[in-house]
Amino acid sequence: MSLTLSSRGMALFLACLLAVPLAAQQSLPPAPYAYRQLEDPAKEAAAQALMETLRCLTCQSQSIADSDAAMAGDMRHQVRTRIAAGEEPEAIRAWLVERYGDYVSYAPVVSETTWPLFAIPLLLLAGAGAILWRRLRRAQ
Amino acid sequence: MIAELGLAALWLAAALAALQLYAGAMAQRPGGEGAAALVRPAAVIQGIVCAFAFLMLLWLFAITDLSVKLVAANSHSAKPMIFKLAGAWGNHEGSMLLWVAVMALSGALIALVERRLPEKTMLATLAAQAFVGLGFYAFLIVSSNPFERLPQPAIEGLGLNPLLQDIGLAFHPPTLYFGYVGLSVAFSFAVGALVTRQVTPEFARVMRPWVLGAWVFLTLGITAGSYWAYYELGWGGWWFWDPVENASLMPWLAATALLHSASVLAARDALRAWTIMLGVIAFSMSMVGTFLVRSGILTSVHAFAVDPERGSFILALLTLYIGGALALFALRAGTVSEGQRFSVTSREGALVFNNVMLSAILGIVLLGTLYPLLTEAFDVRVSVGPPYFNPVGAIFAVPMLLVMAVGPLLRWRRDSIERIRRPLILIGAIMLAALAAVLALGEISVLPLLGLAIAVGLAVASFLPLRGRRLTRVPLAVWGMVLAHFGLAVALFGMASESAFSEERLAAVAIGETAQVGPWEVALSEVLPAAGPNWTAIEGHLLASYAGGDPIELDPQSRSFWAPPQETTESALATRWNGQLYAVVGSEAGAGRWQLRLWWKPFVTFIWYGGMLVALGGALALIGRVIDDLRRRAVLARIAERRGEEAV
């Protein structure tokens, strides 16, 4: 984008003006591994795969791998440091679920409250099979 | 004055819709000829009056009339004109008015030109259209009046959400609404056909352009929305299985099934009940989508419970329309026979299989979207995301894609696998070769692997229906099918490639330093402030070179809007034929370093090129069908003329 000199000066002034309250809001710097990758590519890949399936609790429908929110950054830091320390991804998920509830995980597991999520697709499968069987057999 | 004119027009349009419904219903009885004459004129005038109301709202936004509540809440005098106008539909009330205006105009159009169906069926269709419209008018006037005045004019408007101040997004919601409206017209035709027991191939031909049009708009809307999320949200994600996205995907899935089913009915007089049922489901899904997006239920079920007026209203409309249509269907299902028979290995058989698969995928998406809302009502919060939707959806999507590669090669009514053995072997061999090639590249997970293999096979298969035909004689509609199927293969390839081969680099970089991602080397040359009409930003100047080639300049920004205050990231993209470099500049990381987020996403652009090809295919088919219809109409007119001469 091209800007004239005067508007650039204006922008600088406004940017300074805005920077003050923003800096005051974010009094804590983001945790180190919020925006830093792990050295080991295999561990980073494992962390990334896990982060993509964890919900950012302060956003609307974004994973912690997709968010600028401070809390998502903290959770990324947690995930990366724990993966680096050799923890299994599913153990980290379990730890987070214990802390924040099932809501934090995008990967529902079969439980008292979630069984219909798994039973209904099976019913759909059976239903689809039944419809096709009836429809196509009769058609011949 | 302008606002009052708009409101008056809205009331008048509602009254005309009531007249249209009453007259259309009366016309179904014996001796209703007098009422019948009123229906078409009422529909035409209703369309004009309702469009006028929407123009009044546009005008209010254009002049930023801050005495109107909606303008004060959603606009700002310092906004560029295009976003002032877009602000008219970038909010609940305005978008509902746009919807109903487009619906009324569609009703006016069919009232003016559609003369192929028996007149009684047409009048029943227009009555159904008026019934749907009436619900929306009531909703607008009772609980979402866009023309409401403030007791005291506001001094300045509150502005439009900065994330929405984007040219792509300004036209994204209307695109989806056009799709929803097209499905409402298809629904009205289905109701009209049910009421008068005229579920005929002619009915399918009349309905088909509306379904095709809706499908094209939905495809474009979803494609544009996905690209918007990709470049605007700043993390390179392009689909989140977010309820709002699902709300647009579900009508698309239903419309896809309806489109194919209507084609079978039009060509072969089969799948009568099925087509009607899908017509009802497709419109239900657009109502469910509207309910999800407009009721506030997504933010929180409890927020919805606190102020349930709008949500309850939409829910009541949904129950009324769908319940009514299903009850009618139940009453008339006995009289709607299945139509012509066909064997399993036939074009119809493949289409039935895929319609069942599409419906099952629709069921999965609906379940995964609504289930968390259901549990939340009982204070149990669960999340359903990609780890659920992707594998569970794939159970049905994979067989569907395989059948989709083969189906168009089959003949109508009765065919044999033996006859198409050679193309089958070809498609199978290509898929296996692609599978082996991808496996040789390295370890990737199952779904992207299958996606890549199927995409390559399907891309080739989609052109096979053209083999052995004179290309100049191939009808436009067939070209449309070929392009749409090919587009889906292209999009699938992009999705699978993005998932399998993306590389990410997060780095804190000082001025003059470089960071590497995939084959790219990216240098940060400077960071400068920048400003726009209603934002300021820091802008990173990056020099990116692909595999040691000439550097390209990229200028990602981190923007701060002040009306309302919000931060957004403006990513910068370097597009090559084989993928995109995605660059974001974040906050300062201390010690003169800046946060850079870089991604190399091989073939990611294929997702949206594919989406556009699908839409283009739909548009070609639509044009082809309309031209055919016009031609047929001209021929019929000539025959009628000749008969008239002979009679004399």
Is there a single domain that holds both residue B583 and residue B436? Answer: no
pLDDT of amino acid A28: 60
Q: Cβ separation of A65 and B343 shorter than 8 Å?
A: no
pLDDT (average), residues B314-319: 87
Measured at the CA of B349, the angle between CA B343 and CA B350, to 5 degrees, comes to 145
Is there a single domain that holds both residue B570 and residue B476? Answer: no
Is there a single domain that holds both residue B464 and residue B593? Answer: no
Give B503-543 pLDDT, tens digit per residue: 999 888 999 999 999 999 999 999 999 988 778 888 999 99
Query: B73-100 burial, b if ≥16 CB within 10 A, otherwise e?
Result: bbbbeebeeebbbbbbbbbbbbbbbbbb
Lowest mean pLDDT among B145-159, B397-411, B504-518: B145-159
| Distance from C-alpha of B430 to C-alpha of B456, rounded to nearest angstrom | 7
Residue B580's CB is within 10 A of a number of other CB atoms, namely 21
Task: List phi, psi (to 5°) of B307.
Answer: -125, 75
pLDDT (average), residues A103-125: 90
Query: In sequence order, which residues have a C-beta less than 8 Å from that of residue B207 and are 6 or more positions away?
Result: B185, B186, B189, B190, B262, B279
Domain locations in chain A as residue ranges: 30-107, 109-140
Residue B472 in any domain: the answer is: yes
Angle at which helix B272-294 crosses helix B172-195, to 10 degrees, equals 140
| Distance from C-alpha of B256 to C-alpha of B503, rounded to nearest angstrom | 34
Q: What percent of chain B has pLDDT over 70?
A: 97
| Distance from C-alpha of B183 to C-alpha of B189, rounded to nearest angstrom | 10
| Distance from C-alpha of B321 to C-alpha of B279, rounded to nearest angstrom | 12
CATH of A30-107, one of 1.10.8.640, 3.90.1150.10, 3.40.50.720, 3.40.50.300: 1.10.8.640
Quickly state the pLDDT bin for B153 (edges 50, 70, 90).
Answer: confident
Q: Cβ separation of A121 and B344 shorter than 8 Å?
A: no
pLDDT of amino acid A11: 42
Is there a single domain that holds both residue B510 and residue B498? Answer: no
- Per-residue pLDDT at B336 exceeds 80: no
pLDDT of amino acid A29: 65
Q: Is the ipTM of this complex over 0.90?
A: no
pLDDT (average), residues A58-72: 84
Residue whose C-alpha is closest to residue B200's, from B284, B118, B106: B118
- Per-residue pLDDT at B567 exceeds 50: yes
Is there a single domain that holds both residue B50 and residue B159? Answer: yes
Please report the residues numbered 79 through 98 in chain A whose beta carbons come closer than 8 angstroms to any beta carbon of chain B. none
Give A1-57 pLDDT, tens digit per residue: 333 334 444 444 444 444 444 444 444 666 788 888 888 888 998 999 999 999 988
Residue whose C-alpha is closest to residue B181's, from B78, B255, B92: B255
Residues of B in contact with A76 (CB under 8 A): none
Is there a single domain that holds both residue B616 and residue B645? Answer: yes
Q: Cβ separation of B367 and A120 shorter than 8 Å?
A: yes
Quickly state the pLDDT bin for B307 (edges 50, 70, 90).
Answer: low
Which of B113, B135, B165 corresponds to the end of one domain? B165
Quickly state the pLDDT bin for B583 (edges 50, 70, 90).
Answer: very high
| Distance from C-alpha of B495 to C-alpha of B484, rounded to nearest angstrom | 16
Which of B165, B188, B213 corresponds to the end of one domain? B165
The amino acid at residue A41 is P
| Distance from C-alpha of B231 to C-alpha of B569, rounded to nearest angstrom | 9
Name the most confidently modeled range: B162-166, B278-282, B559-563: B278-282
- Per-residue pLDDT at B332 exceeds 90: no
Query: In sequence order, which residues have a C-beta less than 8 Å from that of residue A37 and are 6 or more positions away?
Result: A44, A80, B504, B505, B506
pLDDT of amino acid B77: 82
Is there a single domain that holds both residue B590 and residue B632? Answer: no
Structural domains counted in chain B: 3
- Per-residue pLDDT at B430 exceeds 60: yes
Query: In sequence order, which residues have a C-beta less than 8 Å from that of residue A69 and are 6 or more positions away?
Result: A56, A58, A59
Which of B143, B165, B187 corresponds to the end of one domain? B165
The predicted model scores a pTM of: 0.91
> What's the mean pLDDT when you consider all of chain B?
89
Identify whether the C-beta of residue B286 lies closer than 8 Å to the C-beta of residue B217.
no
CA B550 to chain centre: 39
Mutate: best of A43, A52, A62, A93, partner B, most B CBs <10 A: A62
Residue B19 in any domain: the answer is: yes
Residue B227 in any domain: the answer is: no
pLDDT (average), residues B579-605: 90
Size of interface A-B (CB pairs under 8 A): 153
Is there a single domain that holds both residue B6 and residue B131? Answer: yes
| Distance from C-alpha of B520 to C-alpha of B400, rounded to nearest angstrom | 37
pLDDT of amino acid B648: 59
Residue B199 in any domain: the answer is: no
Task: List phi, psi (to 5°) of B534.
Answer: -135, 30
Measured at the CA of B267, the angle between CA B265 and CA B270, to 5 degrees, comes to 35
> B493 is in which domain, residue-wise?
420-502+605-648
- Per-residue pLDDT at B89 exceeds 60: yes
Residue B305 in any domain: the answer is: no
- Residue A1 vs residues A4, B165, B597: alpha-carbon distances, Å: 10, 17, 20
Is there a single domain that holds both residue B514 and residue B492? Answer: no
pLDDT of amino acid B350: 92
